[in-house]
């Protein structure tokens, strides 16, 4: 196997460790192979790649798209280090409003799979970071939603308390006030 898959505290969120081949020329990494991902519970096709660069302290999130255009994400860091967070926003889920957060970096060659029904965000810990993430549906502005990064109900322990936010992210509502049409399906576990 090229990859190792580790289910996190919320089992639908999966940490993927890529196989790295390093020699005197540099490094070769295979980040994605559909057959191995599908065999490990990540079978959706990815249809769009997104790329961002940000400086230390920038926080992007917490974002999701409504069910009509819901996206699963596969997040990787090409340069630098981030603190990546996935929040379960599926009503009636046993882990509703709980979150998983972990550091991922270009040096550890890990990816984070964030399934449909989760809000996602990250904060840059290095001087600069370049992040790429694959999504399972194309972006639809009319379905774009989010929740406040500092929602006290969630209590996310962001590493850098004075986050740098966009105007859009600064105005996001708390989870209880956010438009959210996700409901937990017992069969999805």
**pLDDT confidence of residue 2:** 84
User: Based on the structure, what is the number of domains in the chain?
Assistant: 1
What's the whole-number average pLDDT of the chain? 95
**pLDDT confidence of residue 185:** 84
Bridge partners, 115 (sequence order): none
DSSP 126: S
Decide if 66 contacts 89 (C-beta within 8 A). Answer: no
Other beta carbons less than 10 A from residue 153's beta carbon: 10
Tokens, residue 167: 């105007």
Query: What's the domain range around 79?
Result: 46-182
pLDDT at 146 over 90: yes
Catalytic residues: 63, 133
Decide if 83 contacts 159 (C-beta within 8 A). Answer: yes
Residue 2 lies in a domain: no
**pLDDT confidence of residue 187:** 60
**pLDDT confidence of residue 189:** 54
Decide if 153 contacts 188 (C-beta within 8 A). Answer: no
Decide if 100 contacts 12 (C-beta within 8 A). Answer: no
* Section 95-118 average pLDDT: 97
Q: How far is CA 32 from the centre of its chain?
A: 16
Residue 17 lies in a domain: no
What CATH number is given to the structural domain containing 82?
Answer: 2.60.120.10
Which tens digits make up the pLDDT trace of 112-139? 999 999 999 999 999 999 999 999 999 9
Residue 28 lies in a domain: no
Residue 10 lies in a domain: no
pTM for the full model?
A: 0.94
Tokens, residue 146: 């989010």
Name every residue whose Cβ is closer than 8 Å to that of residue 25 and which is 6 or more positions away in sequence. none
* Section 134-150 average pLDDT: 97
Residue 61 lies in a domain: yes
Count of alpha carbons within 13 Å of 23, Cβ hemisphere only?
3
**pLDDT confidence of residue 1:** 63
**pLDDT confidence of residue 188:** 58
pLDDT at 89 over 90: yes
């Amino acid at each position: 196997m090229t990859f190792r898959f580790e289910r996190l505290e919320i089992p639908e969120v999966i940490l993927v460790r890529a196989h790295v081949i390093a020699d005197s020329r540099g490094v070769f990494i295979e980040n994605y192979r559909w057959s191995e991902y599908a065999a490990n519970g990540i079978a959706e096709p990815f249809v769009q790649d997104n790329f961002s660069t940000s400086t230390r302290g920038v926080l992007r999130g917490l974002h999701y798209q409504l069910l009509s255009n819901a996206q699963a994400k596969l997040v990787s860091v090409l340069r630098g280090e981030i603190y990546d967070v996935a929040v379960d926003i599926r009503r009636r889920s046993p882990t509703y409003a709980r979150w998983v957060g972990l550091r991922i970096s270009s040096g550890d060659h890990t990816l984070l799979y964030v399934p449909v029904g989760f809000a996602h965000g990250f904060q840059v810990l290095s001087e600069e970071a370049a992040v790429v993430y694959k999504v399972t549906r194309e972006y639809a502005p009319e379905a774009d939603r989010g929740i406040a990064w500092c929602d006290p109900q969630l209590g996310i322990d962001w590493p850098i308390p004075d986050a740098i936010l966009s105007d859009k992210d600064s105005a996001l509502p708390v989870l209880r006030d956010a438009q959210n049409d996700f409901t937990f399906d017992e069969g999805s576990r």
